Amino acid sequence: MYVEVQHPCIQHKLALLRDAETGHKRFRELATEITMFVCYEALKHVEVEQVNVQTPVAIASCQKIANDIVVVPILRAGVGMLDGILGLVPTARVGFLGMYRDEETKKPVEYYNKLPSDTTDALYIVVDPMLATGGSTVAALDAITGAGVEKAIVVCIVSCPEGIQAVERSHPDIPVYTASVDECLNEKKYIVPGLGDAGDRLFGTR
């Protein structure tokens, strides 16, 4: 299952993010802003608990997030989305998964895994700006579900049908939230029209 969040504010910012003339500073800012909007939608059904809060006037019956939340950026580009989620849920814990693509097999290889301990009951949010072939995302989901995690979602900025289908085949119960489902992958496995190499554009290494 996937949800394409088509709010006009997201689409406006996405147009600026896609622009080849947008520099890395502005690109980072836009990625953070878009991530916050998409996560706002993704967390709409998060579990809450009732609490009583003393206001200056009276006691108010309120709600607070009940889930323990763990954000897992896929290195390195996923780091560019971290501030957007922590702006919404500053108490979230953060784990990291490092993946690179083997140039011969074209499959992801895990080189770093640091997840918080005792959080298998938490809601895990796997983040990566681009859901292209889906290989890294599926590998990340394999890693966290293999560790016993039962609740997870994927948040990305730009995706394509091939990547979404890869996640649905391997983890049909895990939803994907994205700002855009683009046309396809090209022969180099880049999303079309996409936004180029998100890691390079985030960190100024292009």
Catalytic residue list contains 200: yes
**Which residue reads 């983890």 in tokens?**
171
DSSP code of 193?
A: S
Start-to-end CA distance of the chain, whole Å, equals 33
Provide the token pair at 22.
């947008």
Choice among 93, 101, 120, 142 that is catalytic: 101
DSSP code of 109?
A: E
CA–CA distance, 30 with 24 (Å, rounded to integer): 10
Catalytic residue list contains 101: yes
CA–CA distance, 163 with 50 (Å, rounded to integer): 38
Choice among 55, 91, 105, 118 that is catalytic: 105
Provide the token pair at 42.
């993704």
Catalytic residue list contains 178: no
Catalytic residue list contains 197: yes
The identity of residue 6, as a single letter, is Q
Task: Report, as residue numbers or ranges, the catalytic residues.
Answer: 101, 105, 197, 200
